């Protein structure tokens, strides 16, 4: 007949598993999600590369310009949620050739505001703007 009491090893293993589960539950849900800025960068970067490969007289150029503009606006509306996303966001914005002439919610002031808010949210300094 087997002993109905759990072994010390089984108890310790259960405690370790419970601790790991508690640690996972303590992580904010946002931290478990991929940073949305990577998708915004990929989408905008793809459209921008296609524009750079075209001539303004090519069929579909105007439609692609509209698409790229919409994707840039989506990028500017996106706020990084991870340090890696913040670094990628800043690098993508810095590489955009017209950043310094774009107005308002699509321009440099919005990018700087998003960087400051991401720094604040990540506990890395920055200020709410």
User: 83-95 and 36-52 helices cross at what angle (nearest 10)?
Assistant: 20
* Type and span of the H or E element at 26: helix 8-26
Which tens digits make up the pLDDT trace of 72-87? Answer: 999 999 999 999 999 9
- Backbone region of residue 60 per phi and psi (left: phi > 0; alpha: psi in -120 to 50; beta: other values): left
Other residues' Cβ atoms within 10 Å of the Cβ of residue 78: 20
pTM confidence score = 0.68
Which tens digits make up the pLDDT trace of 6-20? Answer: 565 554 555 444 555
How far is the C-alpha of 1 from the C-alpha of 103, rounded, in Å? 79
């Amino acid at each position: 007949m087997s002993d109905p009491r759990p072994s010390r090893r089984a108890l310790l293993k259960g405690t370790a598993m419970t601790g790991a589960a508690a640690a996972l539950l303590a992580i904010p849900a946002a931290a478990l999600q991929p940073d949305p800025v990577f998708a915004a960068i990929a989408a905008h970067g793809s459209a921008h590369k296609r524009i750079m490969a075209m001539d303004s007289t090519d069929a579909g150029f105007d439609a692609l310009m509209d698409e790229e503009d919409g994707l840039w606006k989506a990028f500017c509306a996106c706020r990084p949620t991870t340090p890696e996303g913040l670094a990628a966001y800043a690098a993508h914005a810095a590489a955009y050739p017209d950043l310094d002439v774009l107005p308002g919610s699509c321009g440099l002031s919005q990018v700087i505001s998003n960087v400051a808010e991401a720094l604040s949210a990540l506990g890395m300094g920055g200020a709410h703007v």
